[in-house]
Structure formats: structure tokens, C-alpha cells
């Protein structure tokens, strides 16, 4: 049965074909269009009225000078930007230690009727740079926006 | 040899390399997390190669090696998830999210767990070898996805680093630990394959080839 060589080769061929097929499908099948882990501020603004009320993830850079911390250490206001659009965020969450101006963040929540994005889940998205404390970061705003991969799904 | 290298690499990672400018000391988990991921994906690739070799040749020595590669991949996959959750909790602020990298890594871990479970349920050695080889090849679809998904899709997990994005003082301990992990993994796979081949001998009467082989020793 299974030890019959020709049958074994047939199983082998089917398995290889299945693997190759799935990989090709994933590579060219455009699955990325349906698999968006977070929206950019531009996409959220472009969605207009449809953006209100739905629970989504929004990603962007914390805009310099926009961070306002509440007295209780839990309330936090800032805006996220992708260089084109900005969205104000009201967070009720303990920010991770890496949270600071200019860093990438993802917030899970919804756009409130007043146009402010409300979230209770704030995540820091750091990039692939690992540098010692004395290293200077000479990257431009554009470089930093690129680390948010907004172009990755736009095709 | 591997363990010695791991000691050297971890010492460099913990005490010689500088802390990360924004992440601080916790970034040092990179010196085990990244090698675990690299070597884990490599062992999964080895498992796929052994599975192909078994189906091609029907020689049970490939099945012995397949067991080793499957078990080491399963172990490293589990370690990878735990290390990632610890690191993610501190830097991202969360233990877990259904991001593509995390999800595909979990799927990989569960697939290898499934194949090992499948092996445990099939008694007949030839059928067990064939089934687990086919299952390994099918499961391997997920492995390139684990690696490339962060480039293809938006994810919380950052994309691959390279020597340009990692300071040279951090690259050396990373490389040392990667080779260390690789040596340990290969040693474990070879050891497990030997154990499997011995237990196979007790399971059923030796084939003619095995009898002749022992006569030559």
C-alpha cells in the first residue's frame, strides 16, 4: 500500500504540487488587500462617515509636541500622523515605556462622534533599528513614516 | 562546542554589547530570540528536506532524522513564542495580538505539534513515516510565510533587521549565538535520529540490509 513505490511517488508529487500551488496563490493572489492589520490616518480620513463607530486599528507616528498626559497617568492625548493626515487620539491606557514623540504606535478602538479616535489598547510599533544610546538618529520624517509600511498594502 | 559558543555569545550579549538607546536593557533578549527564530526556521526546512528524502528513497534513516528535526522545530517554535511574548509585553505593551508574524508563528508551532501527535497515533512504522512526511511538506507552506509576512503585510512586528540597522557591537554576539544555536540544534537532531533508529530495531525484525550492515561493523 503505502510502501508501493509508484504510489509513494504519486503522493509525493501531489504534496509538492499542493505546496507550490498555495505559495504561488499567496504570492500573486493579492491576499494583502483583504489583510490589513491597521489603517493609516489617510485611509481613516478617506473612509469618511464609514469610519465612525467601527472598531479598527489605526497606526501612525506620534506627532511631535502633541502628547498631553492626564493627571492620573492613564489618560493620554496625542495625534498620530503619516505625514499627510493626522488623527487625534484619546487613550485610556498605560503607555509602554517606549512610548514617546516620533515613535510608531498602533491604537485599537473607534472614531468617536467628535472625530477623536478613542482607544484603550495602545501598542508601540518599533522599527528594525538597534543602536547604542550614543548613536544619533539622522533619519527624516519620511524615513520614519516608511517604517510604518503604509505602502506595503497599497498595491 | 555549541554550548560553549552559547555561553560566549550570551556573555557578550549581556555584558559587552551596549543597551539599546530607546529599548534599554530588555533589547538583550534579541540575542536569543533572533537565533531561536533563524535556527527554528532552518530546522523546519531540514524537516521538509528529510520528508522529501524519505518519500523519494523510502529509506527509514530519513524518517529517523525527520523525527529529530520535527521535535527540535517544535521546541524552538515554542521557545520563540514565549520569548516573543516577554519582549512584546515590555516594548509593544502587550503579550499577544493577531498580527501576521505572531499568527503565522503560532500556526507553525501548532502544525509541528500536530505532526508529532499524528506520529504518536499511527502504530505501523511505514505508514507513520509516509503520513508524517506528507504532513511535514504540507505544513512547510507556513514557514516561508513566517519569514516574509512582515514584508508583505502590515504588522506590529518589525521587519527583518540587517547589519545596516543593527550596530556592529550587537551584530557579533548575535552571530555567535546563532552559530551556537545551530550547532546545538544539529547535535540534538543527530542524537534523536540515533535514538529513533535504535528503537526502530527493537520494534520489528531487522531488515536484511540492517543485518548486513551490523555484520560489517
DSSP B79-104: HHHHHHHHHHHHHTS-S----HHHHH
Q: Identify the sign of the CA torsion B123, B124, B125, B129.
A: negative
Q: Indicate whether this complex's ipTM tops 0.90.
A: no
A52 and A6, same structural domain? no
Instruction: Give A33 to chain B, closest Cα distance, Å.
Output: 9
Which helix (H) or strand (E) covers residue B133, if one does? helix B125-139
B79-83: list long-range contacts, CB under 8 Å, 24+ apart: B79/B36, B79/B40, B80/B33, B80/B36, B80/B37, B80/B40, B80/B105, B80/B109, B81/B105, B81/B106, B81/B109, B83/B29, B83/B32, B83/B33, B83/B36
User: In this complex, do B99 and A37 lie within 8 Å of one another by their Cβ atoms?
Assistant: yes
B214 has a pLDDT exceeding 60: no
Q: Is B138 on the interface with A (CB under 8 A)?
A: yes
Q: Which residue of B100, B134, B154 to mutate against A (max A Cβ within 10 Å)?
A: B154
pLDDT (average), residues A142-152: 76
State the DSSP code for B132.
H
Reference A133, options B17, B164, B86, B32; nearest CA is B17
A81 and A67, same structural domain? yes
Instruction: Give B41 to chain A, closest Cα distance, Å.
Output: 17
Using 50, 70 and 90 to split pLDDT, how confident is the model at B215?
very low
Using 50, 70 and 90 to split pLDDT, how confident is the model at A1?
very low
Helix-helix angle A5-28:B30-57, to 10 degrees: 140
Q: Report yes or no on B55 lying in a domain.
A: yes
What's the confidence (pLDDT) of residue A154? 47
Instruction: Give B164 to chain A, closest Cα distance, Å.
Output: 8
A93 has a pLDDT exceeding 60: yes
Measured CA to CA, the distance from residue B129 to residue B110 in angstroms comes to: 19
A28 and A69, same structural domain? no
Total domains in chain A come to 2
A51 and A120, same structural domain? yes
A112 has a pLDDT exceeding 50: yes
Measured CA to CA, the distance from residue B135 to residue A137 in angstroms comes to: 47
Measured CA to CA, the distance from residue B173 to residue A101 in angstroms comes to: 31
Please state which of the ranges A11-15, A29-33, B52-56 shows the lowest mean pLDDT: A29-33
pLDDT (average), residues A43-51: 84
The CATH number of the domain holding residue A69 is 2.40.50.140
Residue B140 contacts residue B44 (beta carbons within 8 Å): yes
User: In this complex, do B58 and A8 lie within 8 Å of one another by their Cβ atoms?
Assistant: yes
**Each residue of B68-111: pLDDT tens digit?**
999 999 999 999 999 999 999 988 888 988 888 898 999 899 99
A72 and A20, same structural domain? no
Q: Is B83 on the interface with A (CB under 8 A)?
A: no
**Each residue of B27-36: pLDDT tens digit?**
888 888 999 9
What's the confidence (pLDDT) of residue A30? 52
A122 and A71, same structural domain? yes
Domain range enclosing A13: 1-34
* pTM over 0.95, yes/no: no
Specify the higher pLDDT residue, B19 or A68.
Answer: A68
Measured between CA atoms, the residue of chain B closest to residue A122 is B93
Cβ neighbours of B141 in A, within 8 Å: 19, 22-23
Q: Report yes or no on B149 lying in a domain.
A: yes
Domain range enclosing B77: 2-14+28-201
What's the confidence (pLDDT) of residue B208? 53
By Cβ distance, the residue of A8, A129, A132 closest to B165 is: A129
Q: Is B45 on the interface with A (CB under 8 A)?
A: no
Specify the higher pLDDT residue, B16 or B120.
Answer: B120
Amino acid at each position: 500500500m503505502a510502501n508501493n513505490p509508484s504510489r509513494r511517488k504519486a503522493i509525493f508529487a501531489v504534496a509538492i504540487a499542493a505546496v507550490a500551488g498555495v505559495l504561488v496563490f499567496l504570492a500573486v493572489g493579492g491576499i494583502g488587500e483583504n489583510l490589513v492589520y491597521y489603517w493609516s490616518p489617510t485611509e481613516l480620513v478617506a473612509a469618511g462617515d464609514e469610519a465612525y463607530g467601527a472598531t479598527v486599528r489605526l497606526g501612525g507616528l506620534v506627532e511631535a509636541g502633541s502628547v498631553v498626559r492626564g493627571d492620573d497617568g492613564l489618560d493620554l492625548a496625542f495625534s498620530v500622523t503619516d505625514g499627510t493626515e493626522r488623527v487625534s487620539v484619546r487613550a485610556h491606557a498605560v503607555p509602554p515605556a517606549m512610548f514617546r514623540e516620533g515613535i510608531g504606535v498602533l491604537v485599537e478602538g473607534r472614531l468617536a462622534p467628535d472625530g477623536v479616535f478613542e482607544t484603550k489598547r495602545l501598542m508601540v510599533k518599533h522599527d528594525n533599528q538597534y543602536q547604542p544610546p550614543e548613536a544619533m538618529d539622522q533619519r527624516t520624517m519620511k524615513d520614519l513614516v516608511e517604517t510604518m509600511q503604509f505602502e506595503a498594502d497599497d498595491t | 562546542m555549541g554550548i560553549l559558543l552559547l555561553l560566549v555569545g550570551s556573555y557578550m550579549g549581556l555584558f559587552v554589547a551596549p543597551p539599546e538607546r530607546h529599548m534599554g536593557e530588555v533589547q538583550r533578549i534579541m540575542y536569543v530570540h533572533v537565533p531561536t527564530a533563524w535556527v527554528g526556521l532552518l530546522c523546519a526546512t531540514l524537516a521538509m528536506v528529510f520528508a522529501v528524502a524519505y518519500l523519494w528513497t523510502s529509506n527509514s534513516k530519513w524518517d529517523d532524522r525527520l523525527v529529530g528535526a520535527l521535535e527540535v522545530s517544535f521546541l524552538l517554535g515554542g521557545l520563540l513564542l514565549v520569548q516573543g511574548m516577554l519582549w512584546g509585553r515590555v516594548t509593544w505593551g502587550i503579550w499577544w495580538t493577531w498580527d501576521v508574524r505572531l499568527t503565522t508563528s503560532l500556526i507553525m508551532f501548532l502544525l509541528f505539534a500536530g505532526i508529532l501527535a499524528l506520529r504518536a497515533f499511527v502504530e505501523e512504522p511505514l505508514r507513520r513515516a509516509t503520513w508524517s512526511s506528507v504532513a511535514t511538506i504540507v505544513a512547510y507552506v507556513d514557514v516561508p510565510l513566517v519569514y516574509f509576512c512582515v514584508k508583505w503585510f502590515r504588522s506590529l512586528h518589525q521587519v527583518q533587521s540587517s547589519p545596516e540597522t543593527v550596530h556592529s557591537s550587537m551584530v557579533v554576539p548575535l552571530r555567535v549565538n546563532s552559530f551556537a544555536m545551530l550547532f546545538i540544534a544539529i547535535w540534538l537532531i543527530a542524537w534523536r535520529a540515533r535514538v529513533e533508529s535504535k528503537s526502530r530495531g527493537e520494534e520489528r525484525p531487522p531488515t536484511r540490509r540492517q543485518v548486513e550492515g551490523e555484520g560489517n561493523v
